[in-house]
Amino acid sequence: MRPLPFLFPHTILTIYCLNGIVSDNHAFPEPTFIGNWIEDGHSFLFFLEPEKAFISTLLEQHTSLELLDTYTCPTSNGRVVQ
């Protein structure tokens, strides 16, 4: 597992919610990729900036995956702001 990047205050995370499992062995874009949270048959891909082209390519290559939603989450002092 690679170390998580330092989050500057007021970083805005982009999170893609996918129906289906994205393997942790997949080649994710560096250095914007933070992590892949898998839960209940869904993958939540976390990035430091939007990665629309990567997600489009991923969906084209893996037709069993479906993009359900995209979230942006502001952070403050390295923590997600509610």
35 lies in a domain?
Answer: yes
What range does the domain containing 29 cover?
13-74
Complete edge-to-edge strand list for the sheet that includes strand 33-39: 33-39, 42-47, 12-19, 66-76, 79-80
47 lies in a domain?
Answer: yes
32 lies in a domain?
Answer: yes
pLDDT of the chain, 82 residues: tens digit per residue: 455 556 666 678 999 999 999 998 889 998 899 999 999 999 999 999 999 999 999 999 999 999 999 999 887 655 555 5
56 lies in a domain?
Answer: yes
51 lies in a domain?
Answer: yes
Tell me the one-letter amino acid at 78: G
| Number of Cβ within a 10 Å radius of residue 64 | 9
1 lies in a domain?
Answer: no
Going from the C-alpha of 11 to that of each of 34, 47, 63, 82, the distances in angstroms are 12, 11, 31, 14
- Long-range contacts made by residues 26-32, C-beta under 8 angstroms, separation at least 24? 26/58, 28/54, 29/54, 31/5
As for how many domains the chain has, the answer is: 1
80 lies in a domain?
Answer: no
20 lies in a domain?
Answer: yes
48: domain CATH number is 3.30.70
